[in-house]
Amino acid sequence: MTTRSSTHIGSRDKPLLKALDGEIVSPPPIWLMRQAGRYLPEYREVRKAAGDFLALCHTPDLAAEATLQPVRRFGLDAAIVFSDILVVPHALGQGIRFEEGKGPILDAIRAREQLKSLDKAGLDERLSSVYAALARVSLALPDAVSLIGFAGAPWTVATYMVEGGSSRDFAVAKGWAFSDERGFGELIDILVDAIAEHLAAQVDAGADVLQIFDTWAGVLPRAQFIRWCVGPVEEIVSRVRRRHPGIPIIGFPRGAGVGYEIYARATGVDAVGIDSSVPLYWAASDLQSVCAVQGNLDPVSLLVGGDAMVAHAREIVSVLGKGPFVFNLGHGVLKTTPPDNVAALVATVRAL
């Protein structure tokens, strides 16, 4: 047991915290990325009540309800606060809207001069609804269930801010990063500040685990991956730990391939989330020797369900369950996933 555990009263009763502390937990704890969402009929009701997506994120009662729904329905080992990685640029004052079926649209920031328009002062107040939601969920959760706060990593959040939305080739964001390290670095520095602050505040509000989503970590060449993903996340981890020594942090550099290893070694995270393409035996030998591993059932396998899903889930647990491990998907739940498949998956993992 590390000193970390002793700072968290009751943590020894939570399977997720045990696994993140390096213990082999059997059956492994299970939660699912995007476990709250459109595939659940009860979520669609809450969403309708809220009006639009950002309103849902910023209405604590409704966000708390969306957070709790999958835990209630499936008995998962963790709740993850219902929010979005883009609440941070929104709180920094960047214009953003979500259009149905289109993804987010942002007023793109493409030059160093525009960075002045970002307002760091009001961050805490503008994100207060996230903290209020966490506080509500924290009171409502069963003792054994962990509460996860999260943020997007600087690189991933920056891609949306610079591209003005999602992208196929990230030409604008990468182009800026490649040709003007200093200017792009200023944007990343602003995000390191804001994200470290936001994560630490989520712990204040009741989160007992944090996850950093670097969804687009896989699109950068190695040197740029180190510069824009590994370095900034390391800085965030160290700042958050200064405020909250021992808070467990999961990093998810999706698609990092061979780069997962240096990410696991260099950032200081307690666990790496691995996408579905990462080979299990490699993860067991090269990653679990460094930290806990979380993943990596293909979301399409969950969507399809049946015998194939059961076989895939068993294989994952048989290889990764021998070390510190958290069962999860390799990416978020797809919106056409039958809820019954999630119930069947939880039953499968718990029966192992």
Positions that interact with its own copies (CB under 8 A): 169-171, 174-175, 178-179, 218-223, 225, 255-259, 276-280, 282, 296, 298-301, 303-304, 306, 308-309, 312, 315, 330, 334, 336
The residue annotated as part of the active site, out of 77, 84, 208, 275, is 84
The residue annotated as part of the active site, out of 131, 160, 260, 263, is 160
The residue annotated as part of the active site, out of 4, 39, 43, 47, is 47
Our answer to whether residue 38 is catalytic in this structure is yes
CB of 155 to its own copies, least distance (A): 13
Our answer to whether residue 281 is catalytic in this structure is no
Q: Which is nearer to its own copies, 53 or 282 (CB)?
A: 282
**How far from 266 is each of 18, 224, 229, 272, 305, CA to CA, in Å?**
22, 15, 11, 12, 36
Our answer to whether residue 126 is catalytic in this structure is no
Specify the 3-state DSSP secondary structure of 211: strand
Q: How many helices (H) and strands (E) does the chain have?
A: 18, 9
CB of 279 to its own copies, least distance (A): 4
Residue 340, CB half-sphere, CA atoms under 13 Å: how many?
3
Our answer to whether residue 34 is catalytic in this structure is yes
DSSP string across 84-132: -TTHHHHHTT--EEEETTTEEEE----SGGGGGG---TTHHHHTHHHHH
Our answer to whether residue 119 is catalytic in this structure is no
Alpha-carbon span 254 to 269, nearest angstrom? 15
Q: Which is nearer to its own copies, 138 or 167 (CB)?
A: 167
β-partners of residue 251 are 212, 272
Q: Which is nearer to its own copies, 10 or 279 (CB)?
A: 279
CB of 228 to its own copies, least distance (A): 13
Strand ranges across the sheet with 78-80? 78-80, 146-152, 209-213, 249-252, 271-273, 292-297, 325-329
Cβ within 8 Å of residue 116, ≥6 positions away: none
CB of 339 to its own copies, least distance (A): 17
How many other C-beta atoms lie within 10 A of the C-beta of residue 48? 9
Q: Which is nearer to its own copies, 22 or 175 (CB)?
A: 175
DSSP code of residue 257: G
Q: Which of 151, 87, 98, 156 is nearest to 123 (CA)?
A: 87
Q: Which is nearer to its own copies, 59 or 301 (CB)?
A: 301
CB of 20 to its own copies, least distance (A): 23
- Active-site residue set: 34, 38, 47, 84, 160
